[in-house]
Amino acid sequence: MTGYPESIGPYHITGKLGEGGMGVVYSAHDSRLDRPVALKMILASGDDESGRKRFLREAQAAARVNHPNICRLYDIGEEGGRPFLVMELLEGEPLANRLTRGPMLVPEAVQIILSVLSALSALHRCSIVHRDLKPSNVFLSTQGVKLLDFGLAKPVASHQTSESATEIDLTQPGAIAATPRYASPEQLTGKPVDARSDLFSAASMLFEMLAGKQAFQGNSQIEIFHAILYESPPSLSGSPAALAVNRILHRAMEKDPDGRFQDADAMAAELRAVMRLEDTSARVETRSIKKLIVLPFRALRADPDTDFLAFSLPEAITASLTGLSSLVVRSSLAAARFSNGAPDLKELAREADVDVVLTGTLLRAGSELRLTTQLVEAPAGTLVWSRASQVELRDIFQLQDTLVRGVVESLALPLTVGERRMLAHDAPANPSAYDLYLRANELDRDRKNVLVALELHEQCVQKDPSYAPAWARLGRARWLSDKYSTGSAERLAAADSALRRALELNPDLALAHQLYTPIQVDQGHALDALTRLLRRLHISRNEAELFAGLTHVCRYCGLLQASVAAHSEARRLDPKVSTSVVHTYIMLGDYQAALDAGRDNYGIDMPMCLAMLGRVDEAIQLLKDNEPPPEFRIAQLYTTAFRALLEGNREESIRCSDELMGDNFRDPEGWYHQARQLAYLSEAEPALKALSRAVELGFCCYPPMVRDPWFDPMRGYPEFTQILNRARTQHQEALNAFTAEGGESLLGVREPSSAR
């Protein structure tokens, strides 16, 4: 007795290769064509007529795809009412077997997944989603990587049409087979499934290949479901290649399909870039990262002397925790969105993409403050700790310090020596200075109060000149209060001095690194800012605001692909973080992408995009509806010059530009746009002056200068060529610095050289 039939249809069975819940696989011989084959007999749909027809229909669809990384399907048939598949017989082993021997090096793992992605690309082009990617369905054969098992594959239209997308029916036999450790969130929740679901599963496999453990852990299906739906896999660390793969994996495993790569080719392109990096042969390490949001505290009774603490104390706690390598902290701006009433933890976990929430209530009692805080897991609501504190108002800083340490200890966050030093570094010298600091921070939430906040910041550093966070906030207030009004070079220098003082007091202060970037850029020191941010990000990679700053600086340096990648990384760390990627898309000439990215932005960028897309009337109306107030004189001249150009009022546009450029206008990118507008109006001399000034101030975004048609009237001028050569030289210097400081590995991009 062999334990298997002698033949199935015209195929002579020669052995049994394996058996599972869905069916059994035999080796067989095709006597008609005299070749060995593998034959899979499907068992689950034997008594289900509709299931049998569905299986045969889907197998026919899969058979249409011919690709070297897809196991060839030779034939389909039925035997005794049970369907079977006939496939090429492969020599080698499943990926699942290889994984039992431990993790892989980056080159081996990436090469395998590139083959899988190539197969997926072919399937997706034929509108087929595999839906069951897992290591046992990837075969490492002597002929290369082969994708197997299309038992769950299903035709599907483009993901843009959700009505036609395939959905998992959890009651369908085989819809979730075994433990679904590689299923996408939409598969588990019964939502429409498209090609991006396969990319999630492919990324889950790649994580396991590198880390030696599965991306989503759990001892039961419920625990695994929870991890897939709400938790992020640990981060990979080690070599530059490992860090680049980590960024790619976390994007591919976004809970929302819109946040992932939109097709297999896009994911493959980024992985190919990894293979060009150095140290790809180093092994990777994994570390778990928590994502925390500190919500505004709730005042139990209104009190004008302490109400400001409801926002300013959580913001101070957020700033203290930012920069830890094992913690991602959502910004206070993101937290402010959830300030009304008791939070819905499920909504909060989904919207803010967090797994831990700190909440609290405040109550003034004479000269004391009662604060009750809770640290809870989201979305489950499991209480991590609860703490009731009562302190004198003058001891608020000690309360902040206690809460920060409580978060670190309760989450068991591993701290480096530098991180321990950072947490203990900044303490105000006296209570009144800290009170001023918190009150000024509350005023900073609204730019209309910037002058009042500035005065409080000045008072704070006078009382305590050794408190680094106060110097950082003061620098921002000095810069912001002046940028759109008078444009004073002296105030800009004073802002720079304050930020440099903050970094002298504490070189690791994340807040200072965040706030210093626009000041450096406005001073014409974009290259210095680029170097500083890259060095800081190699130390602490979890600060969304630093990647947002890198988005800004890379654009100034003409590193446009890097700018977009930095924006993507910032949004991965904090989906609500604000970046200037709209302006990057404008520099790339992709005005629709800029418009889509900046729907809520009503500066000059949205009207510019509308105008460049031919929607001039809409652009003019938007400029009229959002005209800057008179006190922001520089901003008013800037927007009026552009609006007059669109309206065909040449004289008014030139007049506003002349007045703007004759004043203390210091915005390097603004000078570029003035040059662009004047060139469009064929005002050669002022256009050349404006472009030269932009480059002089450090705006060396060379690529759009070369290709923007608005500069065409200037291209015959020798002076224009000279300015372009200066911009190209500076751009190349920035590219060299970007490469030398590890920017390519940090962002996973390689910028083209400007040299010709």
Q: How many CB atoms lie within 10 A of CB 732?
A: 17
* Closest CA relative to residue 577, chosen from 610, 538, 551: 551
Beta strands 138-141 and 144-147 are: antiparallel
91 burial level (CB within 10 Å; 0-12, 13-18, 19+): exposed
Q: In three state form, how does the secondary structure of 525-573 look?
A: CHHHHHHHHHHHHHHCCCCHHHHHHHHHHHHHCCCHHHHHHHHHHHHHH
Q: 345 near 379, Cβ under 8 Å?
A: yes
CB proximity list for 519: less than 8 A, separation 6 or greater: 475, 476, 479, 492, 495, 496, 499
> How far apart are the C-alpha atoms of 250 and 547, rounded to whole Å?
16
CA distance 401 to 151: 57
* Angle ∠(726,731,737) on CA atoms, nearest 5: 130
DSSP β-ladder status, 368-377 and 383-392: antiparallel
The secondary structure of residue 751, as a DSSP letter, is: P
* CB proximity list for 176: less than 8 A, separation 6 or greater: 168, 170, 183, 187, 188
- Give the CB-side neighbour count of residue 517, counting CA atoms within 13 A: 25
Measured in whole angstroms, the distance separating CA 151 from the mean position of its chain's CA atoms is 34
C-alpha–C-alpha distance, residues 353 and 346, integer Å: 10
CB-CB neighbours of 136 under 10 Å: 18
3-state secondary structure of 446: coil
Locate tokens 């550093």: which residue? 461
Residue 560 CA from chain centroid, whole number: 16
Residue 146, classified by CB atoms within 10 Å of its CB into exposed (0-12), middle (13-18) or buried (19+), is buried
Q: Give dist(CA 748, CA 754) in Å, integer.
A: 19
Task: Find, among 271, 151, 124, 280, the residue nearest to 205 by Cα.
Answer: 271
Cα-Cα-Cα-Cα torsion 215, 218, 224, 227, nearest 10 degrees, comes to: -60
- Identify the residue whose tokens are 């520089």: 634
What one-character DSSP code corresponds to residue 388?
E
Residues in the chain: 756
Choice among 30, 132, 426, 508 that is catalytic:
132
CA-based R_g, the chain, Å: 30
290-294 vs 327-329, strand pairing mode: parallel
Spatial contact of 333 and 268, defined as CB atoms under 8 Å apart:
no
Active site residue 169: no
Q: Are 289 and 350 in contact (CB under 8 A)?
A: no
Residue 578: helix, strand or coil by DSSP? coil
Distance (Å, rounded) from C-alpha 421 to C-alpha 703?
A: 43
Distance CA 611, CA 143 (A): 54
Pairing of strands 290-294, 356-365: parallel
Distance CA 311, CA 317 (A): 10
Catalytic residues: 132
